[in-house]
Amino acid sequence: MNLGRISVKRTFLLLCGGMTASMLSVCAVLFVMTGERWVLTAGILLTACAVIWQFLLMLFFSKRLSVFTGELCRVMDRMISGSEEPVQVTDSETLFARISYRLSRLYGIMQENRRKVDVERQELQMLVSDISHQVKTPVSNLKMVTDTLLTRPVPEEARREFLKGIRSQTDKLEFLFQALVKTSRLETGAIRLEKKEAPLIDTLAVACSGVVYEAEKKDISVTVDCPDGLRLSHDSKWTAEALFNLLDNAVKYTPRGGAIRISAEQWEMYVKLNVSDTGKGIPESNQASIFRRFYREEEVHEEQGVGIGLYLAREIVTKQGGYMKVTSEVGRGSTFSVFLPSRA
């Protein structure tokens, strides 16, 4: 018999019936043994009293259980809707207090999960809005250029210029999607950074190789000051990606004939990497916003980019237990400092 399937009322009836049968059986045995009728009468009266009290107990318990289950359902309904937190019961020895404590814990978990869902929903909405904003301009440009090529006779020289524009816009879209894929894979944990001890100079060389051509086109000198024997436990590939993003920004916003300097310094707990430039600098009011995804200052919208490089760089550094900060002065350049833990 599965006792969990038996109702409370039926349980009481079974117990009442069993007790009544037991008491009547005892009375019958005593009557047979003594032959006294009063023994039988007293037994029947005692049995009747026990049945009455059991019936009253059953009514009281049923009422109490009904009130308790009704209140429990109301509390759970309010918890589900998030309109009310369960009231804590001070007496910790009662069943109601134990259930109330667990309900409070459940309510806290539900509220935290609801908060996380709201945050994720807001981030998703912001991401969709940002992507839509970033994609809208190049797509509009592509449509305009292709419509012109399809509907109007265009000289060969102008046609080549239009095609260069199409190539430029498709490159921008490709860069945007690649950056978004990298960011998404880092944020969701699809990519795990593997830290291994390796010479830091090798990582800096890889990062610098990606900006040498653009720096030479603008006559910008790039110097590296890193001790040859400096080794660091880090993910070389992704750290180079982060440093490349910093250097790429430095090249973009440093005027022709400027200078960029990369330096590395061993601290007690961290290795400090500085990427300094002689560019336009960042106003203090904007320094707290530059690491946001897709953020770009109004003054630099003519420069190529989508405003995701610094965000991605900070994500890579943070995933390795490090942090970043910036110091800048308008008209005198900026210094981005990367701090990576010396030990794994």
pTM of the model: 0.57
Which range has highest mean pLDDT (16-20, 50-54, 94-98, 270-274)? Answer: 270-274
pLDDT tens for each residue of 146-171: 888 888 887 888 888 888 888 877 87
What is the predicted pLDDT for the residue at 260? 93
pLDDT tens for each residue of 73-116: 777 777 777 666 666 555 555 666 677 777 777 777 877 888 88
What is the predicted pLDDT for the residue at 296? 60
What is the predicted pLDDT for the residue at 324? 92
Band (301; pLDDT cuts 50, 70, 90): very low
SS (H, E, C) the chain: CCHHHCCHHHHHHHHHHHHHHHHHHHHHHHHHHHCCHHHHHHHHHHHHHHHHHHHHHHHHHHHHHHHHHHHHHHHHHHHHHCCCCCCCCCCCCCHHHHHHHHHHHHHHHHHHHHHHHHHHHHHHHHHHHHHHHHHHHHHHHHHHHHHHHHHCCCCHHHHHHHHHHHHHHHHHHHHHHHHHHHHHHHHCCCCCCCCEEEEHHHHHHHHHHCCHHHHHHCCCEEEEECCCCCEEEECHHHHHHHHHHHHHHHHHHCCCCCEEEEEEEECCCEEEEEEEECCCCCCHHHCCCCCCCCCCCHHHCCCCCCCCHHHHHHHHHHHCCCEEEEEEECCCEEEEEEEEECCC
